[in-house]
Structure 1
């Protein structure tokens, strides 16, 4: 009766886990609201003034650096890109343009990445104009005597295309006698460098502040998940800062993390925009402009520029994909901890070797699904000596089990004496009862590290394997809609794909090879694989490929080790026979 009650409790608990999984994840890690494109946009002079005053009011460094939201109602992307004179951007990895009205870099797409797995889908767009429905752009500008150059100021360009080896210089001559120049250059990857210069040809001194900013909407942001930060990011005081989400930035106030800023910007799972300040004193901060608009600023300290003199500063802008090798190369070139733009977490010391191995296997076989399988084989091979030690310990424990029962019976009234005698028995027989837990303890960080690699590595994005079009996404072949033949999408916890079913089956088979005598534990082991099948179904297909391969290798490994330890096989067969006898007795009792 007690076992039946425990089984019922386990079933109810499993059902609550299945039904509450989506709700709990949705509550703890909510998706950004799907807001109207114009919600929160300041589109009247009074609203613009209010935002500007809140962000850059008296006593705030950079006063006069007003909101970057255009004063007009958002228009289509095509119309926004079609307005104004533009300088084209064309590099091996980036394409886009610079709007000469305001000298704004507001048009960037990634040549090597598509929006969907369809090869004809458009390239991934990162930057879009301020007047478009989803603004995201960068600007290198100037404050003069507390006021910025008007947003509608038209700049002159000495070239038509910004490309590697072909820089472009933008020039604007102000009515105040100051001449502003921005010398832009771009490398072969994702870095744009801006040398900002101010020359004072007026009759008096001027107070100038070069600045750089990135402004964006959070509506296009990826989910801020517990293993993958999305939102404001940077390295301050030598440490990577993942502390702030978009909702953590108070409207109208600056948020300035402690420590000198090495770089700062905004990150998604696969994309990054970041400012890298040049030499000199500067203030780096994040701001919420209200609604879904946010900004990262680097504002140089005010400098008094006498008549007839000039100053210059250099800032850089990274805008592109979070490719680990590229980020690490920039870090090696002097950008401190730039590789941590990917939120590797605590286990990055062996996550990166895993990723390196994946790349090597991919170069060897040309498919990341096969590469994951090969990586799993390597991990299991490295773990084999540990598993062998586990089985040896299990065999030793099985061999002394009769003597352990004798000790328990002999000292059942004296727990302390019983424990002492048990420890003496373990020592005399050279058995460690905790050795069986070691492989599990070691595999937890390995599994989590692989999970992060497969989730964060852009190399997994849109990589196919058999029927799977994207290894970074869940298995698309769900059973309840007959693998896409029926016109509906099952809810999250019922989107059970082929890989999830295989996971439940292979895990159940591994548990069956290790039968236990405790009835309650046996019932839990029978239920757990199918609970995990539901829980793991929404995870990346690449991770399920790893886990299925690992389970299959575990089955083969256990078969081999059982052959090396016949006492374990005998014990397993005896427990299996006892289990069958219990079932038969239960059926006989039910009939009578």
Structure 2
């Protein structure tokens, strides 16, 4: 009875801890510079101002020729709209459009959409005219006496000055002349992974000084089709502003349009030193990265009429005298959120705190080391499922001293169960007398009834951290275990509906009601492991409580059946190790729990009742 009170108390305390955490550490509010200049004012800024940052044209100025056709046809037609340069690296493939010089066709060679052998590789960027336009665009915003027709933008017809294809060993150079003495060049480079380096330059061969500002844009037309929209995962704008991480979900961006209409900046922040801005999905990301120490204005906006989500990196305006050349170099990350790759860009490439672009969550102080350990275990073992089990063993070993005290206390309390029942009979309805008697009994036998709560409370943030790691990190995507478990980031695909593959029927689709009912092998093993663990604990004397606790393992079995199979592997391993530890420690304290005898007795009672 007392153990069950402790369990209920621990559950309540767990919820209280989470609520207090949310109150004390709420999600960070977006950083907004109160001194930022409104966009409308920036366009008409004084050309002589050294801090002038001119706004580029909105992405809705780009024509969208999409028609009623299937996505494959739309992509084929869109790719034929303009001449293109091929991109070819070990990690990505695609093309660059010479219309606007847009990086708008990019696929990830090492990642498939599904586990189907005939699956297409993941497409990250798509040109205007496809089902989901998503692209990076560079240009110059005019200042002084220049007009938008005198600087390169979204529709500028670039020519190739150097290079036939963009590879890690061969950059390409694009060229455009405005006819008024300004020659613009764009040098595009790429490494073996996912980082583009874009150098924009302008040569002034005219007789008058030119004032203009380079910019970069990442634009997305409409919401991504595979948007998860799950509370534990951030999808949308992600940016680092002077060491501060800001996240803005897609759902929040439409509000920016109303803010912009009132004449105030749509999430404009003047960055003093380091920063980056872009869009992040669950596994992929496209991010604009100015040079280290480069001041820039980061902008997030939503164009309501065209349903376009847009991030910008606006550089300070430059004054280019006749006979002079000015240039600006920035980077563009467009690829998979591989931890090792992103960490290398941070540590070796100088991209400030780039690892934070992975959504570690509020428990990042646990999630980061948890992932580091899991990642290295996987490298050592070569199997992510076995790495999760090894991680479980390590976590249980670290918590063993606390668990030992808890299980010793539990064994002593189980031994005191008969005396507690006698106290209850003597006290009757006098609850105060019962409490006094129990406290004296605990004190006499040196038992702390609350000692079992601490290990449970400590495991809650560990569980959430591991859940975050399995759900969010790319390294778990399509990671196989054994047999039918070929993706530890997805629910168990087996089902009793087809007798776990013995019948020629497909299992229910994950996320459907049928999948929740006809659960797989891992959820069944989870239920059994929880049931066995429950048999070591004292059974409630109250029939109602006993019935509730008897059903809990099976309720959790169905509730957690749709969770990622990697998480179920952890939980089954955790329950199994906990059962072995508790059983062994209780026997070492003189208490011999007859778990299997209790199970046999239960079956005999059910058989006699029938």
Identify whether the pair has TM-score above 0.5, normalized to the shorter chain.
Answer: yes
Partner of 2:157: 154
Closer, same or farther: CA 234–565 of 1 in aligned 2, 3 Å:
same
Give the Cα–Cα distance (whole angstroms) in 2 for the partners of residues 420 and 529 of structure 1: 33
SS in structure 2 of the partner of residue 220 of structure 1: coil
Q: Is the 8 A contact 1:100 1:154 kept in 2?
A: yes
1:442 aligns with 2:451: no
Contact 2:488 2:564 in 1 (8 A): yes
SS at match of 1:219: coil
Match of 1:195 among 176, 185, 199: 199
Q: Which residue number in structure 2 is paired with residue 325 of structure 1?
A: 340
Q: Which moved more, 1:211-220 or 1:243-252?
A: 243-252
Give the TM-score taking structure 1 as reference length. 0.81
Kept in 1, the 8 Å contact 2:237–2:280? The answer is yes
Compute the displacement of 1:94 (Å): 1.5
1:381 is matched with which residue?
A: 397
Cα distance in 1 between the residues matched to 2:125 and 2:61: 14
Q: Deviations over 1:549-579 (max 9, x none)?
A: 2222223223322321233638x89999999
Shift, 1:258, TM fit: 5.2
Query: Would the aligned equivalents of 1:507 and 1:551 in 2 still touch at CA under 8 Å?
Result: yes
* CA-CA distance at 1:193 after TM superposition: 1.0
1:342-353 equivalent positions in 2, closer than 5 A: 342-353=358-369
CA RMSD between the two structures:
3.4
- Aligned residue in 1 for 2:217: 213
- Residues 272 and 318 in structure 1, CA contact (< 8 A), matched pair in contact too: yes
Label 1:488 to 1:392 Cα distance change in 2 as closer, same or farther (>3 A).
closer
Separation in 2 of the partners of 1:55 and 1:425?
77
- Larger deviation, residues 413-422 vs 442-451: 413-422
1:488 positional shift? 7.2
Q: Deviations over 1:284-331 (max 9, x none)?
A: 111212354211111123334333333221211001111111112222
Aligned twin of 1:103: 101
Question: Does the 8 Å CA contact 2:414/2:538 hold for their aligned counterparts?
Answer: no
1:569 aligns with 2:582: no
Which residue pairs with 1:507 in the alignment? 530
Matched with 1:284 is: 298
For 1:224, what is the secondary structure of its paired residue? coil
Give structure 1 stretches of 5+ with no counterpart.
Answer: 1-52
Work out whether residues 232 and 246 of structure 1, in 8 Å CA contact, stay in contact via their aligned partners in 2.
Answer: no
- Corresponding residue number in structure 2 for 1:67: 60
Q: Say whether residues 1:302 and 2:317 are aligned partners.
A: yes
Q: Distance in 2 between matches of 1:388 and 1:257?
A: 54
What secondary structure is seen at the aligned counterpart in 2 of 1:215? strand
The one-character-per-residue Cα deviations of 1:201-233 (angstroms, maximum 9, x if unpaired) are: 222222201000111132335313222111111
Which residue of structure 1 lines up, in the alignment, with residue 583 of structure 2? Answer: 559
CA contact (8 A) 2:253 2:301 kept: no
Q: 1:333-482 residue pairs with structure 2 within 5 A?
A: 333=348, 334-400=350-416, 426-427=442-443, 429-465=445-481, 466-482=483-499
Give CA-to-partner distance per residue, 1:97-138, whole Å, 9 cap, x none: 211121111111111111111344222110111122211110
- After TM superposition, give the deviation of residue 502 of structure 1 in Å: 1.6
CA deviation after TM superposition for structure 1 residue 526, in Å: 1.5
- Equivalent residue runs for 1:109-124 within 5 Å: 109-124=107-122
Taking structure 1 as reference, are residues 473 and 54 closer, same or farther at Cα in structure 2, changes over 3 Å only?
farther
Match of 1:538 among 562, 570, 573: 562
1:56, 1:105 → 2: CA distance?
Answer: 27
Which stretch has the larger CA shift, 377-386 or 252-261?
252-261
1:256 maps to 267
| Residue 283 of structure 2 is aligned to residue 270 of structure 1 | yes
CA distance in 1, matches of 2:42, 2:536: 67
Q: Is the 8 A contact 1:282 1:298 kept in 2?
A: yes
**Residue 236 of structure 1 corresponds to which residue in structure 2?**
241
1:573–1:317 distance in 2 versus 1, CA, 3 Å: closer
Give the Å deviation of 1:366.
2.6
Other-structure match for 1:15: none
In 1, are the aligned partners of 2:84 and 2:97 still within 8 Å (CA)?
yes
> Residues 56 and 64 of structure 1 are in contact (CA less than 8 Å); yes or no, is this contact kept in structure 2?
no
- Greater alpha carbon shift after TM alignment, 424-433 vs 560-569: 424-433
Relative distance call for 1:433 and 1:259 in structure 2 (3 A) is farther
Q: What residue in structure 2 maps to residue 46 of structure 1?
A: none
Give the direction of change, closer, same or farther, for the CA distance of 1:258–1:393 in structure 2 (3 Å limit).
farther
Calculate the TM-score normalised by the size of structure 2.
Answer: 0.79
Partner of 1:35: none
**Any conservation in 2 of the 1:86–1:100 contact (CA below 8 Å)?**
yes
How far has the Cα of 1:417 moved from its partner? 8.4
Alignment of 1:32-47 (within 5 A): none
Change (3 A) 1:420 1:309: farther
- The match for 2:34 is none
1:521 aligns with 2:524: no
Segments of 5+ residues of structure 2 without an aligned counterpart are 1-38, 46-52, 68-72
CA contact (8 A) 1:272 1:320 kept: yes
Which whole-Å CA distance do the structure 1 matches of 2:557 and 2:429 have between them? Answer: 44
Equivalent-residue separation in structure 1 for 2:295 and 2:603 (angstroms): 77
1:13 corresponding residue in structure 2: none
What CA distance in whole angstroms lies between the structure 1 residues aligned with 2:87 and 2:313? Answer: 23
Task: Check conservation: 1:480, 1:494, Cα contact below 8 A.
Answer: no
1:245 aligned to 2:258?
no
Q: Deviations over 1:371-402 (max 9, x none)?
A: 22222233233333322211111133345556
Q: Give the distance between the partners of 2:344 and 2:308, measured in 1 at CA.
A: 31
Matched, 1:137 2:156: no
